[in-house]
Each structure stands twice: as C-alpha cells, then as structure tokens.
Amino acid sequence: MSSRIDRLVGRAIVLRADDLDTDRIMPARFLRSVTFEGLEAHVFEDDRRALASQGARHPFDDPARQGARVLITGANFGCGSSREHAPQALARWGLRAIVAESFAEIFIGNALMIGLACVSAARADLERLRQIADQQPDLDVVVDLESRRVHAGDVVVTIHQPESSRSALLSGAWDTTGQLLEHDEDVARTASALPYIRGF
C-alpha cells in the first residue's frame, strides 16, 4: 500500500501556457533509455534552451524556483503522447502537485499512478495564484486535497479533482497493482465469459 497524500506544501513555479504537450515536457530523444533515471535534468529542455538562446530565462532555470513543489499552469496540460516519462520527470524534478485549468486524460492517469497530485481550478482563480506566486517566490503554497482548496498567502481558491483520484490519494490506494491482484478469481471469471477468450 502506498502512502496517503492529502496536503502538499511548497514553493510554486509558474508556466503561463495552455496545451503544454508531453513532447515539450520531455522530448522523445530522452526516451532512449530503459529506466526513468536522470529524466529530471531534461524537463522542458528544448523550451529552456530556446529561451536561453534569446537571453531569456525559463522558470525551470530560475534559481528562485529551484526546489519548487507546486506547478501552476494553464489548460490541457500534458496533452499528446502517453509517455509516463513526462510526469516521472516532473516528479523527479521535485514537483508534488500540479494546479492547472485542465489536464489531458492520459497524463492525469499517469500522474496519479505515481502519486503526483493533479488538481484543476477556474481560469480566473489560476491567474490569481499565478500572480501571487510570481510576486512572492518564497511563499509556501498549500494544496489541500481534503478541503479542496489551494492557499497561497491571502489567496484561497477552490480546486477540483475526479473523485476517484482524490479518494485514491487520500486513502493511499493510488499504487493500484496490489488491488488489481487481489481478486484473481474474478478476473478469470470475466475473461472466461468472453467469446474471444473462450473460443468462438
């Protein structure tokens, strides 16, 4: 059984963009490996290099944001490829929660499997969170799954999460394999009732 996850606390990092796809988060060349080790070094690598070459700085390169635990971003985060390398890299970089307007479905499922909390908030509320996080890099942001709120200084916003994800994290049952192995006789019964398994 995995551990209960109910409250994530830490400094925030902000990405002001919608539709950040998993190729952006983790370019495919870093999938040339048989482990997830070391992926954290390459999070958003191409975006970071592109900005650096223009003399600008990506938030993941900002010294004030190192050690951040909560990512605050836009809509449809994690769209595209199903690569778990993307949430793995973000978690290994240090993130414990992502607050976005919305998430792509495969990404949010992959994140849940590794205990990375994904919660959504209304667009206007996200903007309030992004503003205070921009202004106060040292501020601890609290993502409280139990009360369905994010607290950032004076800013308090309501968050949403599929009930199944919330309950899995709160109960510590997000690492599913154990549960799936519990009732093998039910699995066998379901399979043997399928014509294509039984034989036509």
For other proteins, the binding residues (CB under 8 A) are 17-19, 21, 23-24, 27-29, 31-36, 46-47, 49-50, 75-76, 79-85, 87, 102, 104-106, 109-110, 113-114, 123, 162-165, 167-168, 171, 173, 176-177, 179-181, 183-184, 186-187, 190-191, 193-197, 199-200
Query: Residue 124 class from Cβ within 10 Å (0-12 exposed, 13-18 middle, 19+ buried)?
Result: exposed
Closer to other proteins at the Cβ: 141 or 145?
Answer: 145
Shortest distance in whole angstroms from residue 36 CB to other proteins:
6
Contact 162, 118 (CB under 8 A): no
Shortest distance in whole angstroms from residue 72 CB to other proteins:
16
Closer to other proteins at the Cβ: 18 or 140?
Answer: 18
Quote the CA–CA distance of 168 and 147 in Å, as a whole number: 15
SS3 158: strand
Closer to other proteins at the Cβ: 28 or 64?
Answer: 28
SS3 14: strand
Shortest distance in whole angstroms from residue 99 CB to other proteins:
17
How many angstroms separate the first and last alpha carbons of the chain? 40
Closer to other proteins at the Cβ: 55 or 195?
Answer: 195
Quote the CA–CA distance of 42 and 31 in Å, as a whole number: 11
Please choose, from the candidates 172, 130, 174, 122, the residue with its C-alpha nearest in 3D space to the C-alpha of residue 141: 130
Shortest distance in whole angstroms from residue 160 CB to other proteins:
13
Closer to other proteins at the Cβ: 75 or 142?
Answer: 75
Shortest distance in whole angstroms from residue 53 CB to other proteins:
10
Closer to other proteins at the Cβ: 21 or 144?
Answer: 21
Contact 62, 112 (CB under 8 A): no
- List beta partners, residue 139: none
Shortest distance in whole angstroms from residue 199 CB to other proteins:
7
